[in-house]
Structure 1
Amino acid sequence: MNLPFKISVLVFLHSEDGKLLMIERRKAPNMGCWSPIGGKLEMDRGESPFECAIREVGEEAELSITKEDLHLWGYVSEKHFEGEKHWLMFMFDCKKPLKELPKTIDEGNFAFYTREEIDEIKVPPTDRDLIWPYYDSHRDGFIALRADCHPEKDLKIVVEESIGI
């Protein structure tokens, strides 16, 4: 299927007591769902995934970080997401903790959740199978995933590389 292709980042930020920062999205994709912060690469500027992660953390969480504060723990290539586009999403864990909850922004409002609480809140349906299990098992290592997310088919996940489990 010939669909537009988008490149994005997700950044998993933590409070000083280890809770994860989540944003309740006010815009598509994933409107009305909770997810880690992130956004699309500014490809017209040649922005790298690390540059995008640093920019998004500054814009959304008002936290100044460097590439040394980030660990790229994986990526996922999502085909047919919501039947509208393909995504290549780079996933980072941020080692620099947040001292307080960021202010509400146009993108949505923030809250801190324990990892267990995230299993109970409204997250994008594919994240339950595609993001969170691999965050649990690979956030200190690396994983490369390919997923067919066609809305009329069962989610199909292929592990292309796995380091550190």
Structure 2
Amino acid sequence: MSPPRLPYKLATLCDLRDKNGRMLLLHRLKEPNKGLYSPIGGKLEMEVGESPAQCAQREIREEAGLEIPVSRLHLMGMISEQAFQGTTHWLLFYYRVLGPVWVEPHDMDEGRLDWHDPAELEHLAVPDSDRKIIWPLVRRHEPAEPDGRPGFFAVHVDCRDGNMKWKVEEQFNPPAQPRDDLTSLS
């Protein structure tokens, strides 16, 4: 079967944790994933040439009210979803914010932003792709130490015909030792 010709959208997902390891999740009031819990994030502003990291910074600022420098953003995963809901192809950049943050839980236009223990994910209403694919990959690539850097994964999810088939295309375990900050290299 040849792939459907659909528009491609680029977006970020932003994984923020507090000092207790709880995750900041949005209980969404709008599509996509209305009524479900997901990390904050949003579409890249491609018409202005926004990078994925700049998009993550903007979404964190808009939705959580935090200014996060690029040096604290770790690209932990790339998720390509083919024919999501039969309407769109997505390329998602999954960023982990390094170090703890704090945001007061609050309501906003997009939904309710609140902290959740990772163990709660089993019982929260989350998208199927998150439950079956993304969260298991995130758990597998968690850093060994609380202040360590996570690993990396790239996964392709084929959503055609309402079925999800996925293949991990690349992955790296978390580094055994903290890496030096490489963002200042020229």
Tell me the TM-score range normalised by the shorter chain. Answer: over 0.9
CA contact (8 A) 1:62 1:102 kept: no
Q: Deviations over 1:87-110 (max 9, x none)?
A: 000001011422232432111101
Q: Which amino acid aligns with 1:67?
A: V
CA contact (8 A) 2:155 2:170 kept: yes
Q: Which of 15, 18, 25 is matched with 2:21 structurally?
A: 18
Instruction: Report the 3-state secondary structure (helix = DSSP H, G, I; strand = E; otherwise coil) of the residue aligned with 2:53.
Output: helix
Q: Distance in 2 between matches of 1:6 and 1:101?
A: 30
> Corresponding residue for 2:131?
128
Q: Distance in 2 between matches of 1:156 and 1:138?
A: 21
Q: Report the TM-score, using the length of structure 2 for normalisation.
A: 0.84
Q: Distance in 2 between matches of 1:62 and 1:3?
A: 34
What's the CA shift for 1:135?
0.6
CA contact (8 A) 2:85 2:162 kept: no
Superposition map of 1:1-165 within 5 A: 1-139=4-142, 140-150=150-160, 152-164=161-173
What's the CA shift for 1:126?
1.4
Instruction: Report the 3-state secondary structure (helix = DSSP H, G, I; strand = E; otherwise coil) of the residue aligned with 1:136.
Output: helix
Corresponding residue pairs, total: 164
Instruction: Report the 3-state secondary structure (helix = DSSP H, G, I; strand = E; otherwise coil) of the residue aligned with 1:101.
Output: coil
Q: Report the TM-score, using the length of structure 1 for normalisation.
A: 0.95
Q: Which amino acid aligns with 2:7?
A: P
Q: Distance in 2 between matches of 1:13 and 1:64?
A: 12
Larger relative contact order, structure 1 or 2 (CA cutoff 8 Å, min sep 6): 1
Bigger Cα Rg: 2
Percent of residue pairs identical: 42
Give the superposed CA RMSD.
1.2
